[in-house]
Structure 1
């Protein structure tokens, strides 16, 4: 080795020997990732030698070198003592440079002014996409994704297009849509970037494009809509029965990279509708791994804590993802959240403590929609004569009481 070696092992190197994941993640930086210790081993050699498979994957996320040889001529992988550790070198890895996967941008959401509008837009979008699965055969929908959508994506090279088409061809042959998740979570091609960009670009306006396509086709509704492959992809994941076992309700985390001006939109009580898939994790440390604290003046670091109430609004995909240890939960497009609160928390990265904003968002569940809709209905009748208002008020109070009874009986 040409690198100089320390006479005493660093705290970072010892953390790798001792399988101290927390210390490694809090202090990882380029100067230490590949620095050899006094024994001639790099941190990745040490993690591998001691069989710390999860730590091996973490170091590889930070671009730790697989090819450096120690004083005895071994690479880190050659020191792996068991199958689990050897597998850690073979498994796909999402590096920290692929920050878009677990970090949101401002274009992924749209702000709405009331529960009523949120419910209406979300409901109409989902109903529109659901019709495709009831009227069009699955193999036609899958083929439209390949022939129409994948052909239009501007991949960085043709090999990426070929890879995605081969994967989706297998999905078509097997007629098993679970393979769409395999494609979505690819860390090499990063198909999720293209898909979510295209979903966010149209947002709820896709319905108008779809309606126009239907008119242009002469109202043939048993064929896939043209030019909407990204929404066909989303519709299958949202609606197909193969995904029901993966429905999930609970707490998940995601980083966010937005401007200070965008951050000001996240006031308590504000309502937001997702425009694309949001990749979140049950493991907070995974989301924190991708939070960027280096450009805090322009892009203040943010961690979002999502509370999903309706299991149909997200999928726990860790068992069908390419990268199982990310514990990924996919929040589906056109899910409505309300900002509950925001506060500062400490996050240690690169050996430094950063104060970052944590925003808590809670899904607006179906009963919340109904309760608030009735409240707005009651308000709309305030101007009607007293007799009719009392009648409407009594009905609305009965309905609200019923909703609240249902809500507490279900929780």
Structure 2
């Protein structure tokens, strides 16, 4: 299985180099990391003589990072230079007194410390910066993320989530969607979507968008989630969202590896009453904010879940499902495969036995869900704003309704003992809109 996983990872690592988003910036700037005039490639004495280049303003840059470029061409930080020179001792020393805003600062050459550490392949520095909480989703002047500038696959692997902690692979479908077997549930989807849209439009005149940001931060984040894992990171994101009125910080918060996205989705799915308004504000902003319109996605996306086989029998061609929470998926099927393969590999190495019934039948099975999204803003392609760009994430909105079009068995290369995976094809419905 290790060889199969290695092959799948290699595909994932190459994907962003080949896709259209990456080549868009490459064509615009005729960029290659091997060119002698790349800013990260120049010696320190030449760094101070780089001329600023007037560039076309790209909306993706504006929306993905609000970090300011320092004004003086001579003002390269000691921290940046230490990261460039692989001076881990000095980096640790400086980190003690630095804020995350300092860590994420764009230098005069348009790169961050994380960019340059990745560019030169300084793995210890990259690990230090990521552990400290450096922003993975800052685009440099070439519109490349730190992950894109990694010297080799060893550096890219540092950016992967640990196998047992992944939004794109779920161990239960119960939280994600509910079967729709009557008109009442379809009406529930319409009702919830109407509530969310009315909140965003501020039809009551009580909560404009700026107040939404404030209430989410003040009530839900600072009161409701005080003890969750990673709360300091989440507080920082929402503080910036409130100050800058910038929805992108909510995307960063959702994609960060903390307990925030798990708790948010669990509470949305359960219909928890406490802080329900604040959670609806989050849904409203992500679903309708015009600044995310550029990320709207129409097409096919993939997600792997593992559910109880008895529950699986309930799903038939022609039945419909409603998402009960945000659902993270991938634009590339092989990414979903590699993530499930990782979990299989971890369980295999830990010698975790698959749970079976008394008759030997497996209790849970993997399912590949393929979603066909047909309507604007049902799904957002948030890859370049995600803290894990390698996942190619498509974020599906709550209260979206899909019909099961096909159910079939497929055998993936990493499954053992002729085990098959169920593949469910779902297509977005029209009548709930």
TM-score band (shorter)? Answer: 0.5 to 0.7
Listed as ranges, the matches of 1:7-406 within 5 Å are 21-22=7-8, 77=123, 83-85=149-151, 88=155, 92-103=159-170, 105-114=173-182, 116-135=183-202, 136-150=207-221, 151-153=223-225, 155-157=227-229, 160-187=230-257, 189-202=258-271, 227-291=276-340, 292=343, 295=354, 297-349=362-414, 354-366=419-431
**RMSD across aligned C-alpha pairs, in angstroms?**
3.4
Q: Which residue of 1 aligns with 2:27?
A: none
Cα distance, 1:241 vs structure 2: 1.0
Change in Cα spacing, 1:109 to 1:165, as seen in structure 2 (3 Å) is same
Relative to total residues, which structure has the larger helix share, 1 or 2? Answer: 1
Using the TM superposition, give the Cα deviation of residue 352 of structure 1 relative to its aligned residue in structure 2, in angstroms: 6.5
CA shift, 1:85, in A, is 2.1
Call closer, same or farther: CA 1:173–1:365 in 2, change over 3 Å. same
> What secondary structure, in the 3-state scheme, does the structure 2 residue paired with 1:300 have?
strand
Contact 2:180 2:186 in 1 (8 A): no
Q: Which consecutive residues of structure 1, in runs of 5 or more, have no partner in the other structure?
A: 1-10, 27-74, 214-225, 371-411
8 Å CA contact retained: 1:308, 1:362: yes
**Tell me, which stretches of 5 or more residues in structure 2 are unaligned?**
13-120, 127-147, 348-353, 356-361
| Number of the residue aligned with 1:384 | none
Which runs of 4 or more aligned residues in structure 1 lie more than 6 Å from their structure 2 counterparts after TM superposition? 23-26
CA contact (8 A) 2:178 2:323 kept: yes
**How does the TM-score come out when normalised to structure 2?**
0.58
User: Number of paired residues?
Assistant: 282
SS of the residue corresponding to residue 301 of structure 1 reads strand
Larger radius of gyration: 1
- Aligned mates of 1:124, 1:142 — CA distance in 2: 23
| SS of structure 2 residue aligned to 1:311 | coil
Q: How many Å apart are 1:154 and its aligned residue?
A: 6.0
Distance in structure 1 (CA, Å) of the matches to 2:157 and 2:406: 41
Change (3 A) 1:100 1:176: closer
CA gap 1:99/1:298 in 2 versus in 1, 3 angstroms = farther
